Structure 1
Amino acid sequence: MIRLNTVKADIRAAREKLAARIGQRDLILKERDQAQIRSLEASKQLGVNDQVQILLQKSSEYARQQVKGRVEQIVTQALQVVFPERGYAFHIVLDVKGLQPIAEYWLYSEGVMRQMVGPDYGRGGGAVDVVTLALRLALAELEQIDGPLLMDEVGKHVSAEFAPNVAFFLKEYSKQLGRQIILITHNEHLAAVGDRSLRVSQKRNGESEVRAI
């Protein structure tokens, strides 16, 4: 009888140990997946920055200063509209390395100036999202890209408190430039601000249903 109880206790302990290891494995897999998502987001955001670098490299010195000023203006305007109480300002510092102009991004807020570097984009965050959004708008304007702008899940790291401000900024920017913006989003504030909004949902049979909202 004692031997049987010992065996049962050993089995119970083994099960608990196995459950703990499974839990650890699931946590590691979850963290890995989240890291991969952050890496993809960082790559996309850094891709926008690379395009700005290319635009600056293609420009003459005079044009480069014009581009710098306009990008700073658009990004700063976006940050101040979305976060009106934080005193954000966006600055580009131009340098030359290997005979090529290089742009460094600096973010001023609440009396502190800090450089935005690669890891900032991996961590995401509301301010980084808004900077990336504004850089895309600036690129489209400066490169004189025709047609509507297509955007997917912009400002998704911006907190609910400031989401309506993102919607207001996009609406005003669209009006000022007379440019149509087609946006895919799960954010109700962004969906509501559109001149026309469509909701796409999946029915039980797997078919998609589209209706105006």
Structure 2
Amino acid sequence: MYQLMKVKADVRQASDKVSALIGQRDLLRKQKEEARNRLEAAQQELNNYDLVQILLQKTSEYARQQAKKQIEDIVTSALSVVFSKDYRFIVNIEVKANQPVAEYWLESEGVTTQLKPPDYDRGGGVADVVSLALKLAVGELSGVRGPLFLDEAAKHVSQEYVQNVAFFLKEFGQKFNRQMVLVTHSSVLAEIGDTSIGIRQANGKSIVETI
């Protein structure tokens, strides 16, 4: 009887250890996935900042100043609409090694600080909104026509501000007569579309439906 009880206790102990190890494994997998998502988001932000640098390098001094003003206006507008605060986005252009290099600054409540990508230290997803607005600005300044495709726009923005992002995108599209195609998991962003299409899976098949 004693031996049987001891065996059962050992089995329970081994089972608990296995469960703990499985829990640790699942936690590590989750942390790995979160790290991968942060890396992808940071890379996307860097790409958007690089697009601005390329645009500025390919333009004349006069065109550069015009582009600077429009970029500042679009990003400032986005930040002000989304966060309902007195933000001002500033682009400083310096010539280094015979190439114009842009630095980004953010002014809020009388304080001006440099914004370096990726910058996740600001609450609510400020850097994400800056990145989104830069992409829209480059789309207009580059002269590329046709629709803009945005994949998971502003997905790091706090939920309380997502409705404002939707409003800004709607207003931007109307102001610049620009069609935008959003790929998103956000029902709030999906609702702003003139046409919204949902894709879900059922029994291993993808079902497309108007929502």
Which TM-score band (shorter chain)?
A: 0.7 to 0.9
Alignment partners' CA distance in 1, 2:167 and 2:135: 17
In structure 2, the CA distance between the partners of 1:107 and 1:154, relative to structure 1 (3 Å rule), is same
Task: Give the partner amino acid of 2:37.
Answer: I
Larger deviation, residues 123-132 vs 46-55: 123-132
CA contact (8 A) 2:45 2:118 kept: no
In structure 2, the CA distance between the partners of 1:63 and 1:121, relative to structure 1 (3 Å rule), is farther
Equivalent residue, structure 2, for 1:169:
168
Equivalent residue, structure 1, for 2:26:
26
Q: TM-score, normalised by structure 1?
A: 0.87
CA contact (8 A) 2:146 2:179 kept: yes
Structure 1 residue 20, shift from structure 2 partner: 2.1
Partner secondary structure for residue 161 of structure 1? helix
Partner secondary structure for residue 119 of structure 2? helix
Structure 1 residue 122, shift from structure 2 partner: 9.7
Are 1:77 and 2:77 matched, yes or no? yes
Alignment partners' CA distance in 1, 2:126 and 2:6: 59
Are 1:178 and 2:177 matched, yes or no? yes
- State the aligned residue count: 211
Partner secondary structure for residue 147 of structure 1? coil
Q: Identity over the aligned pairs, expressed in percent?
A: 52
Task: Give the partner amino acid of 2:207.
Answer: S
Larger deviation, residues 21-30 vs 65-74: 21-30
Equivalent residue, structure 2, for 1:152:
151
Alignment partners' CA distance in 1, 2:181 and 2:91: 29
Alignment partners' CA distance in 2, 1:50 and 1:119: 12
CA contact (8 A) 1:46 1:121 kept: no
Partner secondary structure for residue 93 of structure 2? strand
Task: List structure 1 segments (4+ residues) > 6 angstroms apart after TM superposition.
Answer: none
Equivalent residue, structure 1, for 2:128:
129
Alignment partners' CA distance in 1, 2:117 and 2:169: 26
CA contact (8 A) 1:42 1:124 kept: no
Equivalent residue, structure 2, for 1:50:
50
Equivalent residue, structure 1, for 2:92:
93
Structure 1 residue 149, shift from structure 2 partner: 1.0
In structure 2, the CA distance between the partners of 1:78 and 1:118, relative to structure 1 (3 Å rule), is closer
